[in-house]
Every structure is written in C-alpha cells, then in structure tokens.
Amino acid sequence: MDWKSKRIRTILETALVEDKAARDVTTALTIDPRLRASGTIVAKQPCVVSGLGCIPAFFEIFGKLNPATSPAQARFEVVSHPEIFDGVRVKKGQTLAVIRHNAAAILSCERVILNLIQRMSGIATLTNEFVKAVAGTRTKVLDTRKTIPGLRALDKYAVSCGGGVNHRLNLEDGILIKNNHIALGGGLPAALEHALKGRKPGQIVQVEVRSQEELDQAIAGGAESILLDNMTPAAVKKAVKQIRSALPGVPIEASGNMSLKTVRSYALAGVDFVSVGALTHSAVAVDLSMRITASLS
C-alpha cells in the first residue's frame, strides 16, 4: 500500500476533517500543548493486522492541518516490533505499535487511527479464515466490489493482507457480463459477442452464468472466464467438468452467499476461485485499544 499516494492521502485527510481533529476542543482545554506522550496500540483479540502504515500518514496530514504547530510539538515516532507488520497474525494482548508524539496530537488522532486499523484488520482476519478454509485445494479467495464507498483501495489492500486476491478494482478494470447485462443486452449470446468484438487488447471477457442453458451459451460463445453464480456445490462440480472439457484452461469462479461453512465444498468442486462479498461488506472490526501515557521526551 502506497500511503503517500494522493488517493490514499485524500481518504485519510477526509477522515481527520470529518472528525474535526484539528479543532479538538476537549483536548485544547484540558491538555498542556507542550506535553508529550506515548500511545500504545494493543490487540484485545487475536487478529490479522492491516493498516499500520496509516499511523505516520495520519500524523503527517494532521501536522499540515495545524500549521501553527511548532517543530518540537510536531516531532513524532512510530515504533513496532520487527515481527509485527501488515499480514501478521497477533495474539490478544500483543502490542501493534507505539506512538511517541505531542500528547494533544495523539488524542486528536486516536479515534480515526483506531477506526481504520480496526476495520482493515477485521477484513484481513475474516479473509484469512476463508483462505484457511480452502487450504490444500487449488482455489483462491477473491474479493468483490462490495466495499464501503470511498474506501475500496483500503478494503482491498486489507483483503490482500489476509491472503486473499483482489478482483476488479472498478468497472474499468475488467469485463464481467452479469445477469442484468444479459437481460438488457439481448441475451447472453448477444452480450458476449458484443463484448468480445468491442473489448480492448488484453481484456478478458468473463461471463456470469446461473443455469445450464446459460452455461451452454457461454461455452458456445467462447467465454474466456466463467463465473458460476448461486449454484450448489454438486452443480458446480458438474459445470467444472463440462467447462474443462470444452474450454481447457479457462478460469472458473464460483460465487453467491459463500460462507465459512460452505466455501470448502465449492473449492473441492474444482473451481479456480471463489468470490466472497462478505470479506468487505460484513467483516466485523477487530477490538483494539490505545493506551496513552505522559512521557518526558
């Protein structure tokens, strides 16, 4: 993750502005502006870590939102154990990072830092559970576009921290003919034909199928990737056999209400990928806390 990219910095700055972090009245009225402190982020449950890079980025942006801050007050340091980084699983009680900074700055940024790392680590942790569920098979776990508006880049990075694979980042990123395209595009054969003729060099045309008829049409039309949607594991296994025979080498994906209880049965049906919307739309934020204590330097 490039935490210095303009896109990511905009997301982080928006979070600080939304919380009016630079106008924290409680901290301004109660904390000596010269006081320095240490903030220790602690995991209150086992989890896979994601988002640690946001910490220094938030403080750099916060400093720009407070141009009157003196150099001494703006000085900060973020320290973590060499073995703690994005993608690592930690135990309950482990320290993720220690922040040494002006006390007021830590207090004003505390909530946005925790909010982001908690959400990202929640996504990474859930993703890792799905990855472990299909371990030993050929199947990889994909995310979807079912992300929080504005946070997709962070959500998808968190998926990668959990061992998952990113699908399309946006609608320009790939061609996927879904049920509504089929319904409005004159049927699957017509939609597929138009996509194959009009696509740019290097673009793969993937087709979502929901029935035996659509599967037959996708194979006959030369689909370059097939997504089997809302089928039973038995139906998926049968479809995989048909696709492998007719279109060797074509990537096969299964989707539709994937859960930790069912995902392995789909993986054992022989698909290359399972896409799981729950990774980003239903992940529960992990429980983290920040312990802040005054320091002498």
Dihedral of alpha carbons 243, 247, 249, 251, sign = negative
- Identify whether 119 is a catalytic site residue: no
Number of H-type helices and E-type strands within the chain: 12, 12
Assess whether 111 carries a catalytic annotation: yes
Q: Is position 208 annotated as part of the catalytic site?
A: yes
State the angle between helix axes of 6-18 and 152-161 in degrees (0 to 180), rounded to the nearest 10: 110
* Separation of alpha carbons 233 and 239, rounded Å: 10
Write down the catalytic residue from 229, 253, 264, 272. 229
Rounded Cα gap, residues 188 and 176, in angstroms? 12
Cα gap 244→65, rounded to integer Å = 57
Q: Of 178, 210, 237, 238, which residue is the catalytic one?
A: 178
Residue 77 neighbours by CB distance under 10 Å? 11
Q: Which string of DSSP letters, residue by residue, matches 89-137? A: EE-TT-EEEEEEEEHHHHHHHHHHHHHHHHHHHHHHHHHHHHHHHTTTS
As a whole number of angstroms, the distance between CA 297 and CA 287 comes to: 29
Give dist(CA 43, CA 126) in Å, integer: 16
Catalytic member of 100, 111, 145, 168: 111
Instruction: Single out the catalytic residue among 208, 214, 224, 253.
Output: 208
| DSSP track, 36-66 | EEEEEEEESS-EE---TTHHHHHHHHHHHH-
Amino acid type, 185: G
Catalytic entry in 89, 100, 140, 146: 146
Q: How far apart are CA 214 and CA 251, in angstroms?
A: 17
Which residues are catalytic, by number? 111, 146, 178, 208, 229
